[in-house]
Amino acid sequence: MTNSLDSTILEKTLNARDFTVLSFTIGKQQRQRQIRIAALWDADRDTRVLTILIALRFRDPAAFAGIRAIAEEKGRVKFWLDNATPHPEKVRELLQAAADVALVPIDQWEVGEPRLVRCRNGAVDRAALPPDDPLHVVLRRCALGVVS
CA dist 129 and 5 (Å) reads 27
pTM comes to 0.85
> What confidence tens digit (pLDDT) does each residue in 10-64 have?
344 333 358 899 999 888 877 888 999 999 998 888 999 999 999 999 999 999 9
Q: Is 51 exposed, middle or buried (0-12, 13-18, 19+ CB in 10 A)?
A: middle
* Residue 79 pLDDT grade (very low, low, confident, very high; cuts 50, 70, 90): very high
* Residue 106 pLDDT grade (very low, low, confident, very high; cuts 50, 70, 90): confident
* Angle, helix 48-59 to helix 88-103, in steps of 10 degrees: 120
pLDDT on residue 17: 53
pLDDT on residue 30: 76
